[in-house]
Every structure is written in C-alpha cells, then in structure tokens.
Structure 1
Amino acid sequence: MRADIERAARAVRVATEFEWTWTTDDLRPFCDQVGWQLSGLDERYPIVTDLEVNRPDAVLYVGDTPATEVFRPIDQICFRASDVVLDRDDLKQELDEIFDALVQRIFELIGQRPTGWWVEPAMVGRN
C-alpha cells in the first residue's frame, strides 16, 4: 500500500498560505501552485492531485448559490493521502500509522494541534 505524506503535507502547507476568497475562482491558481489538475466544476471529481496513490482524484464541495453567480463558495476540498483499500482489516494498523505520520507532519508544518476538524484514525481508508 502506498502513501504520499510529503505531497499531502505540501498541499496543506500551500493551502494555509494561499490567499483564499473561498470561491471556485480560487481553484485554478491553487491547483497550479500544488501541481494538481482542474477539470470542469460540474464533474463528480473535478480535481486530480499529484499524489502517488491509487485514487488521486479529489472531491470538491461547493455551497448552494443562485445560477446567476459565476463563482460558487467552496466548503471543502477532500483528497486521499494513501491508497484506497476496501474490506482489508489486515491493513488497519498500517493505515493508523500512515494517519499518525501525516498528522504529525501537518502539525510540524502549521505549528498547531487540530481544532474542530480532527478525524479519528479508524476513519482513514473508508472512502
């Protein structure tokens, strides 16, 4: 199983330094900075990351806006830092270790512990 902790951490670092307006207008410049590809916003997975994992696609959650608005508000961008594995209880320990390593790397980059966004290691790999 593969994990790409350094590229995932780099994306988090760039996201923390990015001058967000929190609209879809930000997506192209952000993707350009992290080396991701952006396709049509109406696609199920409009972003493909550069992470070396078996599912490099990213999910984009945008807020509801009137059809007349060009740039919709961004709620979340979700991507995977490790390979997706389904129904593999034997990999739970490895997934927990990957999660712990990623969280530690992110803590080092941003200099703080999580507040409000914490996900338990047991949730890793279930998408």
Structure 2
Amino acid sequence: MMCNPDQVAVDADHVVTTDDFRTFFPEFCDATKYPGNLIVTYLQIGVQFVSISRWQQSWKLGACLFAAHELTMGTIATKAAATGVPGQATGIVSAKSVGPVSKSYDTSSAMFSDAGYFNLTTYGQRYWYFMRLFGTGGVQL
C-alpha cells in the first residue's frame, strides 16, 4: 500500500482521505483555514475511535465526524487565543444580552446528557448519536 499524506489507512480495505472529509463537510473546504495535514492528524485519531465492525459502511463518516469536531474545537481555541486567553474552556451559550435586548435558547433538546465534551459542537453531537446507535448494534428504543 502506498503512503499518501492526504489519507489515513486502517488497512488495505479501509482508507479515509481529506477528499472524503471535505465531501462530507464542504464547510471545511478552505485549505488555508483547514490544511490537509491538520485534517489527517484528526482523522488518524478518529479512526481509533470508530469500530469498523460496528459502524460498517459508515465508518468513514464516524472518523470524519470526529475530525470535524476536533477541527471546530481548534477554531474555538484559536478565537479564545485572539482574546488573550488561549485554552479557555467554555460551554454552550444558552443566553445572550446586548443592552436591553436578550435572547435565550433551549439547548437541552440538542444535547446528550452523557456526551460531555462532544456536546460542544454539532459534529460531536452527531458523532455521539451515531456512536451510541452503532455501539448498541443499531437498535434504537
């Protein structure tokens, strides 16, 4: 098997590429903001968290969702660093006020009580949702 810097190979039959990632998530197509080597780094980690025997044909989606979550978390950290507080932990904003105007959101319907860190992005929430489905053998009650 040839070594390609734009792909992660689990074995000869299971390869995920930056093109696969960008096909699933075209919002990450800007190679300047989201370079291929960074995507590959997160895909390398993601394939370790996705059981091919459970996810089957959807395993690429799982690895890509994991990578998208991590890229988004990196973007959040970059924005925090721009304010002079790199690595600052934040939660999900459920209310915001500007002067006399305020707006709040009910985030409970979009969060999983046991997902913790993965609740911080929509990609993480989707990863968690599918992980739970595939982790239980595809049975949903």
Q: Could you say whether these structures have the same fold, taking a TM-score greater than 0.5 normalized by the shorter chain as the test? A: no
Q: Comparing both chains, which one has the higher relative contact order based on Cα–Cα distances under 8 Å and sequence gaps of 6 or more?
A: 1
- In the superposition, the TM-score normalised over structure 1's length comes to 0.32
- In the superposition, the TM-score normalised over structure 2's length comes to 0.29
For the pair shown, the structure with the greater C-alpha radius of gyration is: 2
Q: Larger % of helix: which?
A: 2
